[in-house]
A and B are shown apart, each in its own frame.
Chain A
Amino acid sequence: MTSSLNLAIYMSALLDEAGEAGRAAVTLEEARASFSLFGKGLSEKYLQAKPLGDAPAILANPRRPFPFSNGREVYLPPYLDVFDSREENWRVFRLYTSVQAGQWEAGTFDRPRADEAAARHGRQAWMERKEPLAFLRFFLGSFPMPFLAADIFITLETARTATVMARCFGGLASDLAWFLARLGPNIEPVDYRSVLWNVFFDLLAPLAGNPAQRGYPREVMAAAETVADPGADLKHSLDATLAIYAILEPQLMASLVPEERTLLEGADDFFTDTMPGLRGNKATRFGREEEAEGIELVPPELAEALNLDFYSYLLPAGIGEFLMEDALGKKLAQDTAPDADRKVKATGKEKADVEEAGVEEHRLLYPEWDYLAGGYRRDWATLYGLRAEEGSAQAAKRLLAEWDDLVREVTRQFRMLRLQERTWRKRLEWGEEIDISEAVERQVALRCGLPPTEKVYMEKRRITREVSALFLLDLSASTSSEITEGGHTGETVLQVLVASVAIMARALEQLGDRYGIYGFSGYGRKRVEFLRIKSFDEPLGDAVWQRLGGLKPMKSTRMGTAVRHAHHLLNAELSSLKMMLLLSDGYPQDYDYGEDRTDREYGLRDTARALREAEAGHIIPFNVTVDAAGHDYLRRMCPPHGYLVLKSVEDLPAELPKVYLRLRGS
């Protein structure tokens, strides 16, 4: 039994499948990006917005007023159309995000320190896990009936969190009162979950302005009410969980029929899957009528654990931070050792190792940023430096010919720029130096009774710049897709990419900047392919045109590794201004780029980290994408002025020179 509104929220996604989205509806798809950011604003943590259906049932179900975050994700309705106005539906999203993000604010993920716990209780493994819920999983999983303990705890902790947030945020308090007034009233306490529902509402009664309506044992509220007090912390919720569990468990045992027990046992997987050594044993507990006596209703060590000091759960982070010698680090080190060429260094220093003449030039190991572990995976990706295969130089030049007007214009523009950078600006009304010839002219004019010019100054405003630019082409399989409209219909994305860098190459020859052209693709972390098309020292000759003509769409997009290698190449350049222009057609993606191949997060975070490393190395990275949906992920990968999303692939050849000049400060 639950509130009809709550049920409607959980059911609205299903209802949506039957019909069109209403005008007032809000979808997770449209709200996801901004609520992930909003959550970060509230909690300092980037919390991924996920649909309610993705949450384990123990964290989000229609029997509770709010979902419960695991510390890394916030769970939101995939579609919401339960209120008449869009603002109200949006308000529910905001409230859901606030209450879940508020768990960080309220200290839900605090835990005792591992060494103290180990010293006093011999429990350490769960303390060291780099997972926000690790301690709570241990704690709740240690109860004989973990699902009941979790239901109690989550109800109390959500009430505490909501109270903490409402005290701090006036707007949130009004959102909460508005929502609770519609979510209630209290429901008939037919089972322990409806009791907990009512406890939640009664704890928040002062906020919602509703009088408390009990309908459950007085001792339950006596144990629970401290969580709503100012200054209540996680220990209050855990203490209250212990007390309420002791009241509700006997009642539940008495009322459960075998089918319900089977159903509820499933919920315990949440605790036992990742915590195999837990004391809690549901089989023993459920079978206690037939089995042993003397099983503790509440394990005494849990109460003892609450005597320890709790600390904030800190996410390790920071540029240059590497995994410490913990379990994860050792595991990763073992995983990488066998296949990697140990002769090459992970620092990015090249070691000539030309085994397959003509193609492979070197092999390097690069680290990768694991945002879940909060550190780098050492020597994780193997990069193969290859010389690009040669094709027809004529094919590349033909591509260029199709953009003839643009080539001429850009080349002229760059040539002019070069001239401007080497000359004084004269005839200025204000400047550093007096231009003697203009000053003489002025004097002559004065003596002849003519109006004198005031433009007698000159200034050298710019000096010649030393610039190195590296163009990095995404050569993934998706670049084989064809353009379907416009003047270049039928050409592939790759052809336009090649034309764009070819135009830039022609123009840069005029300007005199140093530049290199490289491409990347690969398949899996053990083979990231980095193709040399033109190195910085190579002239724009036939060999380069042949390599441009021989480029083909390849495989995946392990972007972070490619960016790191480009960074390494630019590091060797002595120019004062170094730029890395990444031309891509989609988000970072590879089959093993993260635990789950469908999850973009790992690749995004790794690439973002690699770009930040480049920035820290005084390199300006800039990402130009022809993926119209690029805003969604580039805003998280790059600084706001560090990327450009083109509406049409065809715009790239014209836009790239503009981007280049802007970055160059010309």
Chain B
Amino acid sequence: MDMDDGTKVSREISYEEYVFCEEPFYIPVGDEVETFRAAYQASLPVNLKGPTGCGKTRFLEYVSWLLGKEGGFNLPLITVACHEDLTAGDLVGRYLLRGDETVWVDGPLTAAVKTGAICYLDEVVEARKDTMVLIHPLADHRRILPLEKKGGFIRAHPRFLLVVSYNPGYQSMLKDLKISTRQRFAAIDFSYPDRAVEARIIAGESGVAEAVAQQLALLGERARNLGEKELEEGPSTRLLIYAARLIGQGVEPRRACETAVVSAVSDDPVMQQAMRDLVAAVFP
């Protein structure tokens, strides 16, 4: 909400209201937009796989806006950050005590199913497997959501789509999707964009000069070479954008990278020093 003086204040909005009126900034890397559109039109649930900060959420915001615009309707995006203690009730809804009576309150998934929104289960493998079984009837040809506690089910709105995301890199050992869950989704793989595209994204998101964006993209590309054993995951595009924003605020580039990239990706002093030298190799 805008104040009279132009500043913004926060405001509580319902799930259904979370609609993108303006085009979110997104640069396609491949054919992911076309693929997603086809999946949406075929009512196929989608699994977005990729490392942290590579643009999965932004992509979904973009396609939510795009599909709504193309179809001439509002397509809300309802996001649920999954975690280990996420229960079926957190997704579907529950009875609450209000005064003398119990009142049923829809969870985000039920709200999305009813209103015809995209329900985005972020980092889905963080949720317990028994909780995720709940989405099975919703993620196949039935497209129904059982409401066990109400003794019925809801048939999904035609515009409803279920989307999940996860990062295969760091979740493979301990947590993984059940095969029966995984095989209900069409999967789109995401990775960090190539250097030229990433530079455009950095420049577009932060407003820094193209040359600075290219240097940051170069830094990101090389720092990701440190991956696998030495570094759990290299700096994300998101972190590079943070660095760019700091630079845009007048912070000296090396200092900005120290704050937004070096210290953010590792606590290991040796790794930090190697990253610091990479920054020094990129920025004079």
Contacts of A173 in B (CB 8 A): 284
Partner of A34, one of B87, B277, B283: B277
> In chain A between 33 and 53, which residues have their CB closer than 8 angstroms to a CB of chain B?
33-35, 37-38, 40-44
Identify which of B15-23, B57-65, B132-140, B217-225 touches chain A: B217-225
Closest-by-CB residue of A relative to B176 is: A618
Contacts of A439 in B (CB 8 A): 97
CB-based contact A615/B172 at 8 Å: yes
Contacts of B222 in A (CB 8 A): 41-42
* A612–B229 CA distance with the chains assembled, in angstroms: 9
Q: A171-B283, A442-B97, A641-B232 are in contact. Are A41 and B271 (CB under 8 A)?
A: no
Task: Output the least CB separation between B276 and chain A (Å).
Answer: 8
Closest-by-CB residue of A relative to B279 is: A171
B31 at the interface (CB under 8 A from A): no
Task: Output the least CB separation between A260 and chain B (Å).
Answer: 40
Partner of B283, one of A170, A612, A635: A170
> In chain B between 201 and 215, which residues have their CB closer than 8 angstroms to a CB of chain A?
215
CB-based contact B174/A665 at 8 Å: yes
Contacts of B94 in A (CB 8 A): 432
Contacts of A33 in B (CB 8 A): 270
Contacts of A456 in B (CB 8 A): 97
* Contact size range, B: 35 or more
CB-based contact B174/A37 at 8 Å: no
Q: A37-B226, A434-B97, A636-B229 are in contact. Are A170 and B277 (CB under 8 A)?
A: no
Among B90, B218, B274, B275, the most chain A Cβ lie within 10 Å of the Cβ of B274
CB-based contact B231/A640 at 8 Å: yes
Partner of A640, one of B85, B174, B215, B266: B266
* A323–B64 CA distance with the chains assembled, in angstroms: 48
* A640–B267 CA distance with the chains assembled, in angstroms: 9
* A390–B228 CA distance with the chains assembled, in angstroms: 42
CB-based contact A616/B223 at 8 Å: no
CB-based contact A172/B174 at 8 Å: no
Q: A439-B97, A463-B130, A637-B229 are in contact. Are A41 and B280 (CB under 8 A)?
A: no
Task: Output the least CB separation between B90 and chain A (Å).
Answer: 8
Q: A42-B222, A170-B283, A172-B281 are in contact. Are A37 and B97 (CB under 8 A)?
A: no
Contacts of A443 in B (CB 8 A): 100
* A616–B169 CA distance with the chains assembled, in angstroms: 11
Kindly supply a per-residue 1/0 record for chain B positions 173-186, scoring 1 wherever the CB is within 8 Å of any chain A CB and 0 otherwise: 11010000000000
* Contact size range, A: 35 or more
Q: A42-B225, A618-B172 are in contact. Are A98 and B102 (CB under 8 A)?
A: no
Task: Output the least CB separation between B271 and chain A (Å).
Answer: 6
CB-based contact B274/A636 at 8 Å: no
CB-based contact B281/A169 at 8 Å: yes
CB-based contact A619/B173 at 8 Å: yes
Closest-by-CB residue of B relative to A618 is: B173
* A459–B173 CA distance with the chains assembled, in angstroms: 27
Closest-by-CB residue of B relative to A459 is: B87
Contacts of A44 in B (CB 8 A): 225
* A638–B88 CA distance with the chains assembled, in angstroms: 36
A174 at the interface (CB under 8 A from B): yes
Partner of A37, one of B84, B267, B271: B271
* A639–B227 CA distance with the chains assembled, in angstroms: 10
Contacts of B248 in A (CB 8 A): none
CB-based contact A40/B230 at 8 Å: yes
Task: Output the least CB separation between A546 and chain B (Å).
Answer: 35
> In chain B between 136 and 171, which residues have their CB closer than 8 angstroms to a CB of chain A?
none
Closest-by-CB residue of B relative to A443 is: B100
CB-based contact A432/B87 at 8 Å: yes
Contacts of B84 in A (CB 8 A): 665
Kindly supply a per-residue 1/0 record for chain A positions 637-658, scoring 1 wherever the CB is within 8 Å of any chain B CB and 0 otherwise: 1111100000000000000000
Kindly supply a per-residue 1/0 record for chain B positions 257-276, scoring 1 wherever the CB is within 8 Å of any chain A CB and 0 otherwise: 00000000011101101110
A620 at the interface (CB under 8 A from B): yes
Q: A170-B215, A174-B284, A639-B232 are in contact. Are A42 and B268 (CB under 8 A)?
A: no
Task: Output the least CB separation between B68 and chain A (Å).
Answer: 33
CB-based contact B225/A170 at 8 Å: no
Q: A170-B283, A636-B230, A639-B232 are in contact. Are A35 and B174 (CB under 8 A)?
A: no
Closest-by-CB residue of B relative to A44 is: B225
CB-based contact A41/B278 at 8 Å: yes
> In chain A between 528 and 555, which residues have their CB closer than 8 angstroms to a CB of chain B?
none
Task: Output the least CB separation between B168 and chain A (Å).
Answer: 12
Contacts of A433 in B (CB 8 A): 89
Contacts of A34 in B (CB 8 A): 270-271, 273-274, 277
A659 at the interface (CB under 8 A from B): no
CB-based contact B280/A94 at 8 Å: yes
Task: Output the least CB separation between A220 and chain B (Å).
Answer: 31
Closest-by-CB residue of B relative to A637 is: B229
Task: Output the least CB separation between B173 and chain A (Å).
Answer: 5
A577 at the interface (CB under 8 A from B): yes
CB-based contact A171/B281 at 8 Å: yes
Closest-by-CB residue of B relative to A98 is: B281
* A607–B270 CA distance with the chains assembled, in angstroms: 21
> In chain A between 393 and 448, which residues have their CB closer than 8 angstroms to a CB of chain B?
431-434, 439, 442-443, 446
* A640–B102 CA distance with the chains assembled, in angstroms: 48
Contacts of B281 in A (CB 8 A): 38, 42, 94, 98, 169, 171-172, 175
CB-based contact A620/B232 at 8 Å: no
Kindly supply a per-residue 1/0 record for chain A positions 567-609, scoring 1 wherever the CB is within 8 Å of any chain B CB and 0 otherwise: 0000000000100000000000000000000000000000010
A15 at the interface (CB under 8 A from B): no
Closest-by-CB residue of A relative to B130 is: A463
A330 at the interface (CB under 8 A from B): no
A212 at the interface (CB under 8 A from B): no
* A521–B262 CA distance with the chains assembled, in angstroms: 39
CB-based contact A38/B174 at 8 Å: no
Closest-by-CB residue of B relative to A33 is: B270
A351 at the interface (CB under 8 A from B): no
| Seed contacts A174-B284, A461-B85; 6 additional CB < 8 Å A-B pairs | A34-B274, A94-B280, A169-B218, A169-B282, A175-B281, A618-B176
Closest 5 CB pairs of A and B: A37-B274, A34-B273, A174-B284, A432-B89, A432-B87
Q: List 15 A-B contacts (CB under 8 A).
A: A37-B226, A97-B277, A169-B282, A171-B282, A171-B283, A434-B97, A443-B100, A456-B97, A463-B128, A577-B174, A618-B176, A620-B174, A640-B230, A640-B271, A641-B232
Q: Which residues of A contact B (CB under 8 A)?
A: 33-35, 37-38, 40-44, 94, 97-98, 168-175, 431-434, 439, 442-443, 446, 456, 459, 461, 463, 577, 608, 612, 615-616, 618-620, 631, 635-641, 665
Q: Which residues of B contact A (CB under 8 A)?
A: 84-85, 87-90, 94-95, 97, 100, 102, 128, 130, 172-174, 176, 215, 218, 222-223, 225-226, 229-232, 266-268, 270-271, 273-275, 277-284
